[in-house]
Structure formats: structure tokens, C-alpha cells
């Protein structure tokens, strides 16, 4: 039940970004010019944003390179389909799909089919799918059941990515309502932890 949005379609939505203990609320309007399509709702000024969110906000307001293949009117977080559960999203379900004992399905994940580094990481990850009563994918969870070393110089102590989808009346496919990642990694004698969550609301989709 995925959907490939056409190039001339655009989105409007509100997004809450939570990064560790910092939060900002923004509004996206794909009908506006690239670089002018994001509005900061909270806090009142970007000057009070913490460093990690300040960098994200600056990137949101930087126009795409004209040579990039992406379309500035569309959201990259959901791959090619914006917020839709798209064919690109489905590619993360690489195979070995089996019925889980508690309901839903398990699968072999692939975070990026075009990346050899992602392939090396994928062998340490598990995937879970939950389905809504209507049959569409309601949640995708990709996680590491145990710590592992993707290369000799690093160890990932914890990894989890969760995407939630919901059917919205009038839209041709389920849309993403939230996406979160938890990463705890040691590399070069330093340990870094990052929790990031995106929550989407007031979603509008316009297709000419």
C-alpha cells in the first residue's frame, strides 16, 4: 500500500524535532520557494536553539544545490515519497519475511541498498513489521539485538530506528506520523549517544 508521489506534488505539515533534551517545532510549506519553505514556530527565535538544532535549522533554510537530483518541494526523510510509505521505504525490507509469534512479521533489513557499509551493518540488525487492521504497514522497527563492531575502530552499543505510519482520509497511501532513532556508539576512544525523533501533524498533500 505504498505510493510514489509525482515530482510536481507538494506537502504541508508541522514537525516537532526532539534531539536529546532539545525540542523545536517547525512548519513546512512545499508551495514556497526552496530555502523559504520552513517556518520556525517554537522557540520564538533561532538564536536560542541549542547547537545541534541550530545546525539543522540552518540546513533547512539552505536552498538545495541545483545539480542535486532531489526536489526541494519534497521531504527527504521518507525517501522519494515524502511522508508516504513509498517503494523506496519498502526496499528496507530486504527479505526473509516471516510471521512473528506475537503477531506481525520479522524481516532482514537493509538501511541503504546502494551502500556497502550499510550492507555490513545490516547483518547485525533485525527488523519487525506491525500491520494495521486494514492491512497497511503501521510500524517498521530496525534494531540491533546486541552490541556489535561494524568495523575494527568502532562499536555500536545500541541502535534502533522506528517509523510509524497512519492512514489519513483523502490521501492515496499511509503517511509517516513519526520517525525516531537511537544510536550509542564508541569510536576513536570516545562514546557518543544521540536520540532523535520527528513527529508529524497537520499533514496536507497537494497533487496537481
Return all residues near 109 (Cβ < 8 A) that are at least 6 apart: 92, 93, 94, 122, 125, 126, 127, 142
Tell me what pLDDT residue 69 has.
Answer: 43
Per-residue pLDDT tens digits for 129-179: 999 888 889 999 999 999 998 888 889 999 999 999 998 888 888 899 999
User: 3-state SS of 109-146?
Assistant: ECCCCCCHHHHHHHCCCEEEEEECCCCCEEEEEEECCC
Burial of 121 (0-12, 13-18, 19+ CB in 10 A): buried
pLDDT tens across the length of the chain (208 residues):
677 778 788 899 999 999 988 999 999 998 888 888 899 999 999 999 988 899 999 988 887 765 444 444 444 444 346 898 877 788 888 889 999 987 899 999 988 767 666 667 888 999 999 998 888 899 999 999 999 988 888 899 999 999 999 988 888 888 999 999 999 999 888 899 999 999 999 999 988 7
Nearest Cα neighbor of 162 from 131, 185, 135, 138 is 138
Q: What 3-state class would DSSP assign to 168?
A: coil
Tell me what pLDDT residue 184 has.
Answer: 95
Tell me what pLDDT residue 173 has.
Answer: 85
Tell me what pLDDT residue 118 has.
Answer: 65
In sequence order, the β-bridge partners of residue 190 are 187
The CA distance from 29 to 16, in Å, is 15
Amino acid at each position: 500500500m505504498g505510493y510514489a508521489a509525482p515530482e510536481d506534488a507538494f506537502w504541508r505539515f508541522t514537525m516537532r524535532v526532539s534531539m536529546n533534551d532539545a525540542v523545536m517545532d517547525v512548519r513546512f510549506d512545499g508551495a514556497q520557494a526552496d530555502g523559504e519553505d520552513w517556518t520556525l514556530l517554537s522557540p520564538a527565535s533561532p538564536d536560542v536553539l541549542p547547537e545541534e538544532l541550530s545546525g539543522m535549522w540552518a540546513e533547512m533554510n539552505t536552498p538545495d544545490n541545483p545539480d542535486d537530483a532531489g526536489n526541494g518541494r519534497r521531504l527527504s526523510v521518507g525517501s522519494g515519497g515524502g511522508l508516504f510509505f513509498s517503494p523506496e521505504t519498502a526496499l528496507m525490507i530486504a527479505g526473509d519475511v516471516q510471521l512473528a509469534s506475537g503477531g506481525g512479521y520479522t524481516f532482514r533489513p537493509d538501511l541503504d541498498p546502494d551502500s556497502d557499509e550499510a550492507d555490513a551493518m545490516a547483518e547485525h540488525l533485525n527488523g519487525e513489521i506491525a500491520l494495521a487492521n486494514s492491512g497497511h504497514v503501521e510500524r517498521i522497527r530496525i534494531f540491533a539485538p546486541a552490541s556489535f563492531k561494524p568495523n575494527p575502530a568502532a562499536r555500536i552499543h545500541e541502535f534502533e530506528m522506528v517509523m510509524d505510519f497512519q492512514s489519513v482520509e483523502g490521501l492515496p497511501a499511509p503517511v509517516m506520523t513519526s520517525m525516531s532513532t537511537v544510536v550509542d556508539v564508541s569510536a576513536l576512544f570516545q562514546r557518543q549517544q544521540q536520540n532523535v525523533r520527528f513527529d508529524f501533524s497537520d499533514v496536507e498533500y497537494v497533487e496537481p
